[in-house]
Amino acid sequence: MKRERIEEIAELLDKRGKLTLEQLDEQFPNVSQMTLRRDLFQLEQEGRIIRVRGGAMSVKEVQKVSGEPYTKKTTIHTDEKIKIAQKAASLIDDGCSLFMDGGTTAMYLAKELPDKNLHIFTNGLAVAIELAQKKNFHVTMLGGQVMKDNLSTASPVAKAYFDNTNFELAIISASAFTPENGFSCGSQIEADLLKLVRSKAKATYMMLDSSKIGKIMPYTFARVEDIDVLITDDNFPADLKEEFTARNIVVM
């Protein structure tokens, strides 16, 4: 009973990186805060977590703190992204083959995905490592030049790769979105890659947290009508939602 709960906490902490006592309380409504506190204490004794004021963080997360460039981004709008990732994960059927990008939202998705029989392609290094943790996943990494800021790869040669491979679903995210300029990102070859991915996939699911709305990045890789499902958070503006649903795009 106790041990079970502790392991569950450890797992959660591994997923989310950081948890407050409040969040833990929500997750475990049947035990008191004091008990959770004691669990955290034990985990700290075992050297598996670090207790900080208000809660605890996983050792992994702390190590990331030192790896600045990529990980700074991962701590903003975390909650929204996790929710989006959970929604997206619920859409994935067993046996599906899909592409996911290397962004931070994809990272959360990788953590949330249940360990089903899936074939997953990605261009994200960290995402690939995360996916490799699951026993039943068949993970394929796209090669190419490594972009240091987001730890993903892109290369013009990717096309050759895709010639022999098929996937049903593309789950991607964008750095910026406006209705006029569509979904955009900061790198030309990344945009090219994502366009290619879109064209290969039977359906495109876009994950977009609302903080991206109104921003514009140099390279557009998809317009509103190019996607099939938009997965976003509760702050998504109602009028924008109209624009999507009017074109038969599911917004969730």
Partner DNA sequence: AGATATGTGTTAAAATTTTACACGAGAAGG
Partner DNA sequence: CCTTCTCGTGTAAAATTTTAACACATATCT
Q: Which is nearer to a second copy, 60 or 223 (CB)?
A: 60
Residue 37 touches which of DNA, a second copy, none (Cβ within 5-8 Å per kind)? DNA
- Distant-in-sequence, close-in-space partners of 136: CB < 8 Å, separation ≥ 6: 115, 116, 117, 118
Q: Which is nearer to DNA, 49 or 201 (CB)?
A: 49
Residue of the chain from 13, 16, 17, 55 that contacts DNA (CB under 7 A): 55
CA gap 167, 78 in Å, rounded: 28
Q: Which is nearer to a second copy, 52 or 216 (CB)?
A: 52
Instruction: Specify which residues 56 forms β-bridges with.
Output: 19, 51
Residue 114 touches which of DNA, a second copy, none (Cβ within 5-8 Å per kind)? none
The residue type at 56: A
Instruction: Specify which residues 97 forms β-bridges with.
Output: 119
A 10 A CB-CB count for 105 gives 26
Interior/surface letters 176-191, b for 16+ CB within 10 angstroms, e for the rest: bbbeeebbbbebebbb
CA dihedral for 99, 104, 107, 113, sign (positive or negative): negative
CA gap 148, 133 in Å, rounded: 23
To DNA, the closest distance from the beta carbon of 11 in angstroms equals 17
Residue 66 touches which of DNA, a second copy, none (Cβ within 5-8 Å per kind)? a second copy
Q: Which is nearer to a second copy, 29 or 47 (CB)?
A: 47
215 binds a second copy (CB under 8 A): no
53 binds DNA (CB under 7 A): yes
Binding segment for a second copy (CB under 8 A), chosen from 79-87, 160-168, 172-180, 183-191, is 160-168
65 binds DNA (CB under 7 A): no
**Among 97, 93, 108, CA closest to 17:** 108
User: By the criterion CB under 8 A, which residues form the site for a second copy?
Assistant: 46-48, 50-53, 57, 59, 62-63, 65-70, 72, 125-126, 128-129, 131-133, 135, 138-146, 148, 151, 153, 155, 157-158, 160-161, 164
